[in-house]
Amino acid sequence: MSSSKGDVASKTPLRLGVAGLGTVGAGLAILLRDNADIITKRAGRPIEITAVAARDKTRDRGIDLSALTWHSNAVDLASDPNVDVVVELIGGSEGTARALVEAALKAGKAVVTANKALLAVHGDSLARLSAANNAPLLFEAAVAGGIPAIKTVREGLAADRLLSIGGILNGTCNYILTAMRETGRDFSDVLAEAQELGYAEADPSTDVDGIDAAHKLTILASLAFGQPVQFDSVHVEGIRSIGALDLTFARTLGYRIKLLGLARQSDRGVEARVAPCLVPEATPIAQVDGVFNAVIAEGTFVGRLMVEGRGAGAGPTASAVAADIIDIARGNTVPVWGTDVATLKATQSRPASEWHGAFYLRLSVADRAGVIADITAILRDCGVSLSSMIQHPSARQAQDVPLVLVTHPTDESAMQAARQRIAALDVVSAEPVLIRIEDF
């Protein structure tokens, strides 16, 4: 027989200890209060916060939490007898966040976290702790906010052999590149605007240098391939070198520029990188603009699929955290990387020098005879074949003009060698901008 609403509400509540009451932590508390009726129904029992750990007890968070147990040391949540599930929303791969998660798992308590850095750097050891203590570790909110990226890859595609995984994994960078394309402004100007709007941190390096996206890609790749991918093996580039001129040239060529995280599996190992890429304007990934994220997976049976949505913010992230909590209440949990830890082994990384693809190369060159001949001779010597070339004297900067070269697919090592030799020419006045082309 099915239980009535009253029967469900009368069941023993699942008690949460929440570490971190910032944007997401406060958002979670408000969500659990405002949607208590549907959450109780879907979880099969009430869910309530019984204890919290945060630095400022007096801060107005939009909800009254004064009746809860407050811990000055977040790690104490792991030993609190009135806490069934520890929710870690502190962030960071080390320090209190790591100590709390490890302590909770050792105590046999389920953990829900939104901490992408922690999972990317210590995911293998945490998976083993989780298994050894029969303590679930769930992290839907660690990748792409409210997009169910983790469940899609780990559970929805569990029967398929995935060949690649990735997408637009950082909303800050996507907002900046979108605004640069639409307004013609340069990186520094748009970054300042993003900071004013709250889309970028005061120190934006984790976002704009690609580190945040690399954390998320590490998690997605580990799930997709059923093996922990080492964060240090991910090749990482940011968007600081991209100029408004590159967005203009990309449009002329029929592309848009996106910061992509991409991981591919082959018999030579896993190729994982975060870098700006040119993608054809007509493809779905090119249409994902502003602060939105998108995750693309490709499998042998499912083919290619894409999920899109808001990748950050209190609402989307709190919703993802709550979804994990409901799974725990229902007893619906799976191994951290979707497979038994006994089968886990380190993934072999494919060297960047072996990657293969087409490239966009923008140069700032002196406007004089023989320049193009010198550059094409270097490309020829390095075994790089040209597909097209664009030169716009009207875009002259000082005494130099921009020159854009698009190559046929070639080895990464050959392209990098050509780039270094071209940069050393006395007719080249600035560091060449090299961007990979991805044909989605």
Residues with a known catalytic role: 216
The CA distances from residue 237 to 145, 177, 223, 274, in Å, are 22, 14, 22, 6
Residue 335 phi/psi, 5-degree rounding, is: -60, 150
**Three-state secondary structure call for residue 111:** strand
Which amino acid does the sequence have at 190? V
Cα Rg of the chain (Å, integer): 24
Are 406 and 253 a contacting pair, CB within 8 Å?
Answer: yes
C-alpha 435/C-alpha 194 separation (Å) is 23
**247-273: b or e for each residue (b if 16 or more CB lie within 10 Å)?**
bbbbeebebbbbbbbbbbbeeeebbbb
Q: What is d(CA 369, CA 426) in angstroms, rounded to the nearest whole number?
A: 13
Q: What one-character-per-residue DSSP string does 224-235 give?
A: HHTSPPPGGGSE
Residue position matching structure tokens 């050894």:
132
Q: Which residues of 18-57 are buried (b: 16+ CB within 10 A; e: fewer)?
A: bbbbebbbbbbbbbbeeeeeebbeebbbbbebbbbbbeee
* Separation CA 82–CA 65 (nearest Å): 16
Are 327 and 211 in contact, with CB atoms under 8 Å apart? no
Cβ-based burial of 373 (10 A; exposed 0-12, middle 13-18, buried ≥19): exposed
Structure-block tokens of residue 39: 């959450």
Q: Which candidate, 194, 192, 188, 149, places its Cα nearest to that of 171? A: 194
